[in-house]
Amino acid sequence: MHSLLILGVLLATVGAILAHDHGSGNAAMPMGGGGKSCAICNMDVETDWYIELQHGQRIFSCSMTDGTHYTPSDVHSFSHAALTGATMKDISSNPKCDNSCPECDGGNVMDPISGAAVTSANFKFICLNRGQKVYFATDASKQSFAQGIASKPYFGVTQVICGGKPCPDGFHVPTLTSMAPPPAAAPFCTGASVMFSGFQTTVDGTCVKLFFQSWVLDTPLKYIVGLIGVFLLPLVNEYLVCLREDIRMAFIKTKLSRHQAWGKQSRKLLLTVLYMAQMTLAYFAMLVVMVYDTGLFLALISGFGVAFGYFKSERSLGLKSTAMMRATWRFDESEYLTVLSVDGMMCMQNCGSTVQTALEKVPGVKHVYVGFSEKCAYVSGSAASDALVQAVETIGFDARVLRRPRAESGPSTPYGSSSSHLA
pLDDT of residue 320: 44
CATH architecture for segment(s) 321-422: 2-Layer Sandwich (3.30)
Per-residue pLDDT of 390-400, as tens digits, reads: 888 888 888 88
Percent above pLDDT 90 for the chain:
23
Angle between helices 385-394 and 220-256 (to 10 degrees): 150
Per-residue pLDDT of 131-141, as tens digits, reads: 899 999 999 99
Domain boundary assignment for the chain:
24-186, 232-317, 321-422
Work out the mean pLDDT of the chain and round it to a whole number. Answer: 78
What residues contact residue 3 under an 8 Å CB cut-off, 6+ apart?
none
Per-residue pLDDT of 221-256, as tens digits, reads: 988 998 999 999 999 998 888 888 878 777 766 554
CB 53 within 8 A of CB 158: yes
How far is the C-alpha of 149 from the C-alpha of 359, rounded, in Å? 81
pLDDT of residue 58: 93
CB 406 within 8 A of CB 337: no
pLDDT of residue 258: 45
Per-residue pLDDT of the chain (423 residues; tens, 9 = 90+): 445 444 454 444 444 444 344 334 443 333 333 468 888 888 889 999 999 999 999 999 998 888 888 888 888 889 999 999 999 888 888 878 888 888 888 778 999 999 999 998 899 999 998 889 999 999 999 999 999 999 999 999 999 999 999 999 999 998 864 444 555 567 777 776 777 777 887 777 778 888 887 888 888 898 899 899 999 999 999 888 888 887 877 776 655 444 456 677 887 888 888 889 989 998 999 988 888 888 888 999 999 899 888 877 655 544 444 444 467 777 777 788 888 888 877 766 677 788 888 888 889 888 888 887 778 888 988 888 888 888 888 888 888 888 888 877 654 344 344 443 443
Rounded alpha-carbon distances, angstroms, from residue 10 to 14, 22, 24: 6, 18, 21
Q: How far apart are the first and last CA of the chain?
A: 105
